[in-house]
Homo-oligomer: A and B are copies of this chain.
Amino acid sequence: MTQKHALDYFFKPHSCAVVGASKDPAKPGHQCLAAMIRAGFSGELYPVNPREQEILGLRSYRSLSQIPGPLDLVVLCTPVEVMYDVLDDLGERAQTRGDVKAMVVTTAGFSELCTEEGVARQATLVKRLSEYGVRLMGPNCLGVIDTRGKVDTTFLLGVDMTPGGISFVTQSGALGAWFVQAWSSHPGPVGFSKMVSLGNMADVDIVEVVQYLGQDDTTTVIGLYLEGTSDPRALLEAASEAARRKPVIVLKTGRTSEGERAASSHTGSMAGKDQIWDGAFRQYGVLRVHTMDALLDAMRSFDKLPLPNGNRLFVITHAGGPGVYTTDLVFETGEVVLSTVGEEVKQNLKRRLPPHANVCSPDGLIDMTASGTVAQHAWATEYLLSQPEVDGAMVMDMQIPFFSVAQLSRELGETYRRLRENGVSKPLLAVMMHGRWAQEGRAIFEAAGVPTYDSPDRAVAAFRNMVRYASIKRRLANRQRRIEGWEAPSGVPRMLTETAAQVLLEKYGVRFPATKSASTLDEAVSAARQLGFPVVMKVLSPDIAHKTEVGGVCLDLRDEDAVKRAYAKMLENVRKKAPGALIEGVLVQKMVTGGVEMIVGGLVDPSFGPVIMAGSGGILTELLKDTVFRLAPVDREEAVSMLQQLKGYKLLSGFRGKGPYDAGALADLIVRLSELLSKEKIKEVELNPVKVLEEGCIAVDALISA
């Protein structure tokens, strides 16, 4: 007998008590008990209600302590005021029997209220359950559904308990309900393994559940609805670990609600929490989607289908318009393409399909026309899925007068099942665009392992997500994530002088242009002469972060006269625009000409810890917000992927006859800066701009606050 995991008692308990069970169908305690019965729970089920003898045909108990047999799981559905009595009762049972292992508290009225009373109540609940050795799900949650454990602690109507491989974990009960009800309304049965509504996460939290599901053999795909978590790195680590074996798909909301941080650098002002989340999901191999429909579709597609080996989709339809429409969709993001098969394959298709069929124009698309038969559909699907140039196929089916949709689904479903049995491991997706007239055909397809979609939009999006995860999986297989300790920043940020910043950065291999400091005009002129023209001159002041904005930077000074004029002008500007600032002199710097301007920075975020940013420089930084984030430290491969994600990457790789520039050197710089962020006690760093040259890269300006 293998040892039970603590969470097993939620998903496969041998016995369960529903406290607050009721005869009144409007009460959650009634609905929960009814749900357990409907789910077919096969263990002992005990209603607890001191005022009833029997509820829904089951003997009702006065208290937990009176339940005679062993008890694994308790579900609390009472009004919140009753909680203290229940805890006393549970405490008594803990002393006498000590058998209860898990408790789902669906009741609301805890810290989600943001009142002192609610917070205190939750603290009591946690403390006492911990004393009794009882793990807590919730409070303020729907709890769990497990199709194999036949457990359902929710009050949802009509849950379809067909077992499958999908597990969905949600920080919103309502989104859990959406999931279950969308599922159970699907034309064909879509099996799932578990639904977990976490509620306030007073004890069992999202990290532990993701770890558990990562190890759970009945779970083939994990979906997450995430609003936030106190330890993002732990969640990402757990998700990444699971993602090595099965897709982890997240719908993360709160994109617009998280405030911008007060910041003294671009890095800071760009580092919205959502931008960091976005970068971290990529980094850790978590597939992000932005709508509930996309999440639902992705989960069921992954559960039913094998992963594609590449991104080449073949589309088979019998009408022109949907073909044109789908071609647009396929090419929308550039991640999926229509597949190009060889000339011989095209000739064979032309020979076997209706005379006026539109074959491979464009490549990767067949429009059979309305005269295509069921047999021709089945043959073409089988033939194309056997071609090495095809990574997946999509059939699109309209209602047409000449054959029955059910017949098509049956033949195609059979064909696909045979292909799978013969070892062809490629996805087939079916689009059925005729509303309720498609239901029968969809059910037949689904039963044969072919997921169906009511629009090509949804099918193409599902295939795209499969392509993304296939690539994530390959990548994760070759990498070891490492988590490093870090300390939350504290104290008031203090800006290092430019010179101090350079010294620290040079330790990490950051190169700067030759620079001299000068405290008089004569010194400045002489410095410029020694460095060689053209030069750049900047005011040197610990009080000024953005020198350009106070007129404290002069570029491209080509001779001594220019240096003299600039010196006077600059001091005048700064005195006017930053009257209180201490001016220590100027820096004279050899001007770097040519290359592409980029920005690299980083900061220590209170919840994410050190994060590193790369972006397009100059006006592009703010105009496009063309920046990407990752959690630091990053390795070189990750640094390269950051650069590739930028719109400005085109500039680096060569553009309009210029370049290519040394993106490799920039990637190395990112790696080293990410190490600095992880090791040194600083709050924020920014190199802006970094000039990326044909060989090497050089930081023109640097800011560090510690």
Contacts and interface: CB of A to CB of B under 8 A. Distances in A.
Interface stretch (A430-438, A479-487, A666-674): A430-438
A331 interface: yes
A623 interface: yes
A275 to B, nearest CB: 14
Interface string A27-38: 110010000000
Contact of A293 (B256, B457, B549): B457
A291 B27 CA distance: 42
Interface string A213-227: 000000000000101
Contacts of A656: 548-549, 619, 622
B655 A623 contact: yes
Interface in A390-429: 398-399, 401-402
A435 B398 contact: no
Contacts of A256: 327-328, 330-332
Nearest to A158: B437
A262 interface: no
Contacts of A624: 624, 647
Interface in A11-42: 26-28, 31
Contacts of A434: 157, 177-178, 181
Interface band, chain A: 35 or more
A113 interface: yes
A108 B371 CA distance: 10
A36 B656 CA distance: 62
A370 interface: yes
Interface stretch (A46-54, A166-174, A232-240): A166-174
A31 B401 CA distance: 8
A640 to B, nearest CB: 20
A106 to B, nearest CB: 10
A293 to B, nearest CB: 6
Contact of A437 (B26, B175, B181): B181
A182 interface: yes
Contact of A254 (B181, B322, B324): B324
Contacts of A457: 291-293
A706 to B, nearest CB: 26
Contact of A225 (B178, B321, B327): B321
Given A227-B321, A457-B292, A399 B181 contact: yes
Given A108-B370, A291-B457, A619-B651, A172 B401 contact: no
A325 interface: yes
Contacts of A549: 656-657
Nearest to A331: B256
A26 B292 CA distance: 40
B172 A319 contact: yes
B399 A325 contact: no
A385 B623 CA distance: 38
A225 B112 CA distance: 48
A369 interface: yes
Contacts of A399: 156-157, 177, 181
Interface string A178-190: 1001111100000
Nearest to A369: B108
Interface string A90-113: 000000000000000000110011
A178 B648 contact: no
A475 interface: no
A157 B328 CA distance: 28
Contact of A435 (B175, B181, B322, B620): B181
A530 interface: no
Nearest to A171: B321
A113 B623 contact: no
A133 interface: no
Contacts of A171: 321
Given A549-B656, A656-B549, A398 B174 contact: yes
A679 interface: no
Given A31-B401, A399-B181, A319 B174 contact: yes
A81 to B, nearest CB: 14
Given A401-B31, A435-B184, A174 B623 contact: no
Interface string A543-558: 0000011000000001
A594 interface: no
A506 to B, nearest CB: 29
Contacts of A619: 651, 655-656
A328 B648 CA distance: 27
Interface in A597-647: 619-620, 622-624, 647
A230 interface: no
Contacts of A325: 172, 175, 253, 292
A356 interface: yes
Nearest to A367: B174
Nearest to A454: B182
7 contacts: A108-B370, A112-B320, A183-B435, A185-B435, A293-B455, A619-B651, A623-B648
The 6 A-B residue pairs whose C-beta atoms are closest, nearest first, are A172-B321, A185-B435, A174-B319, A181-B435, A185-B436, A256-B331
Given A155-B401, A185-B437, 12 more contacts: A108-B370, A171-B321, A172-B319, A172-B325, A173-B319, A175-B322, A177-B398, A178-B433, A181-B433, A253-B328, A257-B324, A292-B457
